[in-house]
Each structure stands twice: as C-alpha cells, then as structure tokens.
A and B are shown apart, each in its own frame.
Chain A
Amino acid sequence: MSTATASETRSDFRVCPTTGLKVHKDADALMKANAVVATVCLLVGGIAAILVLLTRWQAVHLLDAVMFYRVLTIHGMNMLIFFILFFEMAVLYFASAVVLNSRVATPKVGWIAFGLMVFGTLMVEWTMFTGKADVLFTSYVPLKAHPAFYGGVILFAVGAILVTCIFFATLVIAKREKTYSGSVPLVTFGGITAAIIAAITLAHGAAIYIPTFFWSMGMGNVDPQIYRLVWWGLGHSSQQINMAAMVSIWYLLGALTVGAVVVNEKISRTAFVLYILFISMASAHHLLVDPGFGPAWKVVNTSYFMYMAVLASMLHGFTVPAGIEMGMRLRGYTQGMFGWLRRAPWGDPGFSSLWLSVVIFGFVGGITGVTFGTEQINIIAHNTLRIPGHFHATVVSGTAMAFMGLTYYVIPLIFRKKVSFYGMARWQPYVFSIGMLIFSLSMTFAGTFGVPRRHWDITFAGAPFDVAYSSAVPLMLGIMAVGGLIAAVGGGMYILITVWSVFLASRSGTTARMQPSRGRCLRASTTDPSSNSPMSRWNSRSTARWE
C-alpha cells in the first residue's frame, strides 16, 4: 500500500532539466495559477499607475478629482496587495516544495486558498471600480468603504494564511519523507522568514479589518488612532514579507545566474532572524507625528527595534554581492579586484535584475527609509512626496524588480517555455529600473518642498487661499513623469514578454531552455538535459573543486 503510494507520488514529479530539482505537479500548477493572477494584477495596477502619474504631472492633469482618488486606490491595492502577494504565494510553493524536492501538503486546500484569494480580489476590485471604496490603500477610519471592500480583503487574507500554513506543512512533509538531507537551504530559510512575518502581518490584518468590516455595516465602533496603529502592523509588516521574499530571491537568483555561494550560513540566517524579531514594532515609524503616542514609545520602537532590522538588511547587502563574487571567482573569473564584476553576465535579465534590485533598494530605498524613521526628520517628510519617493525605490525598484528577474527563470523552469523576445528581455531590467530611479529621486526632491502625496491638485485652484510652490516643483514633477513613463515602458515590456512566452509562444519541449547570456553563465543544454545543465555543472564543480 505504502509502496504503491510512493511510486504514484514519484510519477507526479518531473525533474527540472536545468536545475535538477524535482517539481511536483501540484506545486507546478499552483505556482502557475498564482503567477498568472499576479501578472494580471500587475497589469491593472500598472495602467492605474500611468493614469495617476499623468494626473500628478501638473502640466497634463489628466483625471478629475473623483477619478484620481479612485484610480489611486486601485493602483495601491493592485500593486501592494494583489500583485505582490499572489507572486509571493508562488514563491512560497517554490521555496518549500520545489527547492526541497517535496510534494505539496494538501494541494486541495491550496486551490481553496487560491479561490478565496481570487474571490476576495474580485470583491475588492468591484467595490473600487464602481466607486464604493474611494478610501485609498490605507482606508483610514472613519473614511468608509462598502462592506464588500473589507470583506474582500478578509477573504484574500484568509487565503494567504492558508497558503502560509501549507508552506509550513510542506516543510514538515519534506522533513518526514526525507526529501533533503541536512538543514533547509538558505532560500527556504528566507521563505520561512517571509512566512513567519506573513503570519504576524495577517494577524494584524484580521485584528483591524474584521472590526472595520462590522463597523462599515453599522455595528460597533473603531477608534481612528487605534486603526492607524494596528493597520500599520499590517501595512508595514506586509512590506517586510516582500523584503524577506526579495532577499531570498537575491540568493536564489545569485545561485541560478552565476552560481553564487553562501559565504556564511550563520551570518545570513541570523540576519533573517533579525527581521522576524524586530520588524513588526518598527511599523511605529508611521506614527511618529501622530497625537496618540508618547515620545518614549515612538523613540524605542523606531530606533532600537528598527535599527536592528536595518542591520539585517546591511548584512544581506554585503553577503549577497560577496556570494556572487566568490561564486564568480570559483568559476575562474579571478582577474584583478573587479574582474568578476566586469565579466558578470550583465545581459542576463535575471542577473541584471538582481544587481539593480540590490543597489537601488539599498542606496535609495534603504537610506531614505532609515532617515524618515527619525523623529525630527519625519516632521519634514510625513505625508509629503518624499514618502512615495522612498517606497517606490524599495517596493518597485527592489521587490518588483527582483520578482521580474525571477520570472525570466520561472518561465523556462516552471512554465517550460522559452522566454520570447529575449533581446528585449535583456534590456527590460535596465529600462524599468532606471525609469523608477529617475521617478523616485525626482519625487523625493519634490517632496522636500513640502508637496503633499495623494493630492489631486497642487495648484489649489478653487481653494480659499493661494499656495505657490517653488518653480523647482513643476520641473521635478515633470522629470518624475518622464521617469515614470520610462518605467511604465519597462513594465509593459515585462508583461508583453511574460504573457507572450507563457500563452502565445510554443512549448520549448521538455527541456527548459535558458538562453545564453553572453555565452558564459547559463548555457543550458537543449540536448542532454540531465547531465550538462548549469546547476548540475556547478554542483559537480562544487564537489570537484570547491571542497
């Protein structure tokens, strides 16, 4: 009986010819479904982004006030919640089942979770598109939306909690069925970090959206300040799920593109644990200029707790490039101090995405974020354009860029399709990332003049008193628009490439064919998949040379 089950189970796997990893059919299907919905949400959020951008570009000022706030709500929810979390669900299946060569625990529950998330998303989209939820992403009480808005978010969150549970259950199964030996790989460890933060985050989400749901139907009351406190336990912590997932993807892409090694497991894993311990309380930096909390509470939460999470990011910011350098050197790129960097596969979109994500997340997103988290600096940054300037550098140039880079490997590994328009794909990370960099920097500069975020008309036409910003502001907003449009072109390239590859291009056979990047790093064999793939080459090297 048990052997029959075992053999059945074995036939449910296929071996990925490029990585040598075993992919279970349920993991395969669940990852595909989540990734496809994520891309659709990215498209909706991206179109909304262009409309918002063309309205904030005061020279164009496209939408009217009602539509502006509605489209801004659609942009925020689709990008920060739906796109990112659907993609992360796929990452959780990958980090557990695929990396550990395991089957997925309770795939049926996986599909129920997927259904709940899609249904919740559709409820929220319906309320937003029909003008029943013009409350923006944060939906600060007592701004009130239709109950279906909160209900949709709750159903979506329940689905995400279920996937998190499946992730942990899959880890247990993999351990019990001995699908791997030793400790879990670092990428899975990062996935565990993301999943634990997700559990904390979703608990905050339940604690605030459930009372708000009842309040929206006229039952009970929700204190506006308590709402801001608990909501940011969700709103900021969810960005830490993104960050933990992104850092895992940095390690993953390093491994896939250039065979980056883990310099020291202790350092990298300790850094992940620091995220878990300190990041939730650090959400307090959103409340630095709020009336409800004292200075001691603000200082403790935003200095002691936040800086320990910052330390974690600084450690990863060192170990990821260091691992790439060591990997490149071990593979023979040893000339000079920077030969490994010069000869890195800059034309491989997976590698360029990884590198751009690390640099812009750290230097632009990280530095602005840490400074705004200071009591006094927050006074001159709160609710100005400096804030979206910061988080577009983290969430878009950092997280979304890393996700996009991973997609160029998901298409051949999981969808088993060739990446279409590969020449365009080589350019896509640069176009997207440089556009976002121009966008973030000019937005931040405009914010230093006090220009408010989430504002339809900064010429204040019709207001009782005139406000005239510095003449630098229209210039900065113009540059911001140009950067944003360049990034939108990059985003469009990404969607075109992924949709075309997955749905319109022909199947690349059973072989996951990765296109060569300047002929060096990832020349996957299309003829002999099992023995000559890059990963297995590295693995054999690791036994032959690295040990």
Chain B
Amino acid sequence: MFDIKILLEKAAEITEKRIAVIMKNESMVCPEGFNLGITYEEACKKAGKNYKGWNIYMSETYGTRCFVCIGSDKYYESEATDLVMLLLNSALERDASAEAYLRKAVEGKYDAAELSKLEEELKACLPGYLLLVDNLGGSGNEVLEILVNTIDVKISITHENRIIALAVEENITEACSSFIKNVLSELLIECEAVIGGKAELAKELHDLYKNCIEALCLKHIYHLGDSVLSYDGMYGYRTAYNLDTKLKESIKERVFTAEFMEMANGELGITIEEFFKNNLNLTDTAAKLYIHRNTLLYRLDKIHKCTGFDLKRFEDSWLFKLAWMIYKEDAS
C-alpha cells in the first residue's frame, strides 16, 4: 500500500491535479489532507461520472475493486488520465499480488512448483525482517498507519488479527521500539512487536513466522514485560523451556531456599528482573529502579545470604537466571 501512496504523490505532482484512490476500507488523497468527501458506496454509484468535483474511474484488479478519482470540474477521458490509471492499476495489482504471496509464504501453503513464482513476486521486498505485531486493540488500520510511518515497511498484511510485515531497517529492534512507543502515545494501545528474523528468500518466511509465534508463547510463559521481542535474542528462554523436567526441579531446589521464595514476589523480584535486564550493571539497574547504588547492593546481598548466589558473579548469575526462568515458568 505504501507504494501506491508514493505513486499517488508522483502522479499528483506530474499532472498537477488532485488524485485519490478509494478502496473498501481505506482511501488516500493527494495532496494529503485534502477533503475527498466521497464514500466507497458513493463511488460505486458514480463511477464513470463527475461527482463532487472528482472524475471517478473504476479499477478492478486481482479481484479487488477500487476507484481512482481525479480532481476536475467536468468528466473527461484523456491520455494523461489513462496513463495515471495504468500506473495505479499496475501498482495495485503488484501490491495485491505481493500481499497474497506474502500470505501464502508465511502460512507455508504452497507447493514446490509455486516456489519460484513466490520468490519472484516477493523479490522486491527481500531481504527483510519479518515482523509480527500483536494486540492491535481493535485499531488495526491506525496501528498499520503508525507502523509504515515509523519503520521502512516493504509490504504488510493483516493475518489472524495481527499485522505481518517485511521491513528493512539498520537497527530493527530500535525501530520497533520507536513504533511501540508511537502506538502507545497516539492510540494508548500496548501492542507487541515480534522480530522473527531476517529472510533472504521467500521460502524462509514460514519458519520466521513460526519463530514469531514461539516468541509470543515464551513471552506469556515467562511473563516478559518487553514490548519488542526478538526471537534471536530469546535463546535463554528457549533453552530453559526445553530442559528436562527432572533437571528443572533439581536446579530450582539447588538455587531457591524457602526463605527466598517468600520474598521473591516483592521488591526483590523486581530487583532481580531489572538487574538481569541491565546486564548485571549496578549503576544502570539502580538508575532504572530509582534507588541508590548501595540500596541495590544491600538487596543483592540479601539474595546472596538467602540463596548462596552472588548475582554480581557471572558463575552464580547464569545459573540463578536459569532457575529464575524456571520459577516463572511454574508460576504461569
């Protein structure tokens, strides 16, 4: 859809006319902000006519009906109009077609014979990161609008009440974090962005989509507060989840004392989470918790006394982190 927007802007610039596209669920106008004042239903009735200062032309490509409107006082068909229509139709077709292929690719619903066509259709969008946006709070269109305005999205579809997108960004985690913050500020919706991984070829997209779903499951199992999840960064949780049950029990018994378990839900729990999140950095953790560094040291000392594990030592902290993940898995 982003391509059409750019194309519209170009067409409006070249023809020096107002141009709009009306689709079932969405409409776009160039110059932006210009009042279109025509609904999809009205466009259906007035196609091939001049209505409210617009010439309305119908386009039906790839099973999708849309209307191209060119600002004018009276109805006409000229070569310039034909050219704009041709360009828009081809963009719409390309877009619709690529979207359909992306859907097939993430669902893995294609056979070997279709694979080369799939690769061909999605070639322009790859390599790219597969993103999944969950918890759209019933505002899918608005969330998508914020997504394409924050991240360089090549193509996107809505699938099972989630947005799936292929994006190109130098720092995809940071870009996703900005996107989440924008959604929260604009719409007061706390959605989640999952980075499935980077795909070079279309055939990899199905596995990356599965990665996204697994990352979401791990988030729920381990009560992760993060709004941006990167599957590649979740090795620890994946390892913990796949450990043998007996081994999990023995790790828990080894690490957690009854005394510690009583305190784990309060401020000590918050401290542990933040300390791990800040890579065992005392200064950063204290700043995030708004406590003095010495208060943090006192709390860590308390954990040390209760469990025998000094979280400031790498040897102790990694086993404790594993045990902490198992403990949270049990609590879920």
B is a partner of A: no
B residues contacting A by CB (< 8 A) are: none
A residues contacting B by CB (< 8 A) are: none
